A = this chain, B = another copy of it.
Amino acid sequence: MRKLGLIAGGGDLPIRLAGQCQSVGRPLFVIRLKGMADPALQAFDGIEAGIAELGKGFAALKASGCEAVCLAGVVKRPDFAALKPDWRGLKALPGAIAAARRGDDALLRFLIGEFEAEGFHVEGAHEVAAGMTLAHGPLGRLAPGPEHMLDLHKAFHVAGEIGRLDVGQGAVVCEGLVLAVEAQEGTDAMLDRCAGLPETLRGTPQARRGVLAKRPKPIQEQRVDLPAIGVATVEEAARAGLAGIVGEAGKALVMDHDAVAAAADALGLFVYGLEPKDLPPDWAE
């Protein structure tokens, strides 16, 4: 397998991907983005670089023999005025700022273009993470019942539309009502907000209702990042009184299959992998 350069932002995903490479014997070099990457990544061969130090990053990736790269983890839009770019970063800066004004999606497409222009093949997190994505069907013991189908399909549809608008990758629907949509605040904050809504609108741990859907944005996420479902996601969804979680099969990362399944079983939620072709005619895409 060709050596992978992992450009690591915040959160668990880069650690999981690095672990996956190690477990399948794939050679790896990690660029830890300053102020974002988890210190645990220092255990892998690599360097730390600022997000605008493109020249330093490209040089290190080439010197270490990487032909492919994967951009993974949480990268919050930078404060462009406070960046300290090197010469290569400076060259890219006007393009990056212009792209950022068109949205997250455009900024990430721009960054992919910069890596490709340097001769790197850009892999999606789901390619690096083969075997770590949500399979088609139920993950744990529980499967959604007929009473969950409206919410499951509608949440899946709304999350897809939200992604198409470059807004975010998550939505919560309960009895046909869209309770919340995720933008910059992230999934946890969205679920917290659901837990704070009046009980007439949502489920409770005693009487679970409603479904969280997580889907990749149509362009961005499939190359650069994928929605992730972890134990914390299941626990937050449980606190919000939801009946279950739906993700796009093959396009949602499951951070630890056994632990996620065990948490879902213990808390009484389903976690389900749906394919767009499973949608009924009402919601067909």
Contact = CB atoms under 8 A, between A and B. Distances in A.
Interface residues of A, number: 38
Interface string A11-52: 000000000000000000000000000000000000000000
Interface stretch (A64-72, A178-186, A218-226): A178-186
Contact of A100 (B79, B162, B177, B193): B177
Contacts of A77: 177, 200-201
Nearest to A164: B161
Interface stretch (A54-62, A101-109, A117-125, A236-244): A101-109
A239 B193 CA distance: 20
A184 B82 CA distance: 36
A168 B178 contact: yes
Given A77-B201, A176-B102, A183 B184 contact: no
The 6 closest A-B pairs by CB, nearest first: A79-B200, A101-B176, A167-B178, A181-B181, A180-B183, A179-B184
Interface of A: 76-79, 82, 100-104, 106, 150, 158, 161-162, 165-168, 171, 175-181, 183-185, 189, 193, 196-201
27 contacts: A76-B200, A77-B200, A77-B201, A79-B200, A82-B200, A100-B175, A100-B176, A100-B177, A101-B175, A103-B176, A158-B167, A161-B165, A166-B178, A167-B171, A167-B178, A167-B181, A168-B178, A177-B184, A178-B183, A179-B183, A180-B184, A180-B185, A184-B201, A185-B193, A185-B196, A185-B197, A189-B193
